[in-house]
Amino acid sequence: MRPLLCLVVFLVIAGVSEAGTITKAKVAQKLSNKESCRDGFCIVTLKFTLKTTLEADISLAEAAGFQPDTVVRGSFPLGPSGSFRLTDDPGYAADDTSANISSTTVLNGIAWERTIKMSWDGGKLKLTVVTSVNQPLISPAPVEWAGVAKTSDTKTSAGELLITFLADNLGTEFLRLEATVATKTKAARTIKTTAKGVTVLASNQSINGGKLLPE
């Protein structure tokens, strides 16, 4: 399995919790990867989506902390770290209780697109973050794939994923949320070489989680 695929399994999304308490959290990730390799190089078609949602009970004081200067931060080992200001939403105004933000970050030649939707009203924080990649790449072909007639395997595993959320104003943190979610991972891979000497790798991986684990 290529390093990029391995990173997906150990994904961590950063943040944490003071008085706020996460009551719901869900993670759904899909990655498909098709590589056609010949003469030492591969043409890669990479498609990746990760959707994370959470709901949390927050105090009136925490809700009041959201201001135009508020920065929400996240750390994404698969792809660039994420941080945004509420004013990155062109429609955001002071005293609003929601924000919708879209951003694109290029890292290692890959364009990572993110949409963030969040609201904080009625004692509830709701957050949805969607990260996606869809682009072709060129990479060196692994030597061990050369001339492989055909091989396939499927693996499933159980694990857990840390979901966290951090918000601050001018460097002063006012909200941290953290929860651990049970996950199930399924990975399938097929490698074959055509009569024309082209080695093709097709791999698919999914991670799904929604059950909160006790702290």
Give dist(CA 98, CA 48) in Å, integer.
27
* Reported pTM: 0.79
Strands 199-213 and 172-193, sheet pairing:
antiparallel
Q: Name the residue among 163, 169, 161, 162 with its Cα closest to residue 72.
A: 169
Q: Name the residue among 192, 190, 201, 184 with its Cα closest to residue 154.
A: 190
Give dist(CA 40, CA 53) in Å, integer.
41
Give dist(CA 97, CA 111) in Å, integer.
30
Could you give the C-alpha distances from 48 to 79, 136, 155, 164, 207, in angstroms and in order?
Answer: 11, 12, 19, 21, 12
Summarize pLDDT for 137-188 with one digit per residue, the tens.
888 877 666 667 788 999 999 988 888 889 999 999 999 988 888 999 999 9
Q: What is the number of other CB atoms lying within 10 angstroms of the CB of residue 15?
A: 22
Q: What is the number of other CB atoms lying within 10 angstroms of the CB of residue 181?
A: 22
pLDDT, block means (10 residues), the chain with 215 residues:
29 39 89 86 86 91 93 66 88 94 85 92 92 85 70 92 87 89 92 86 90 86
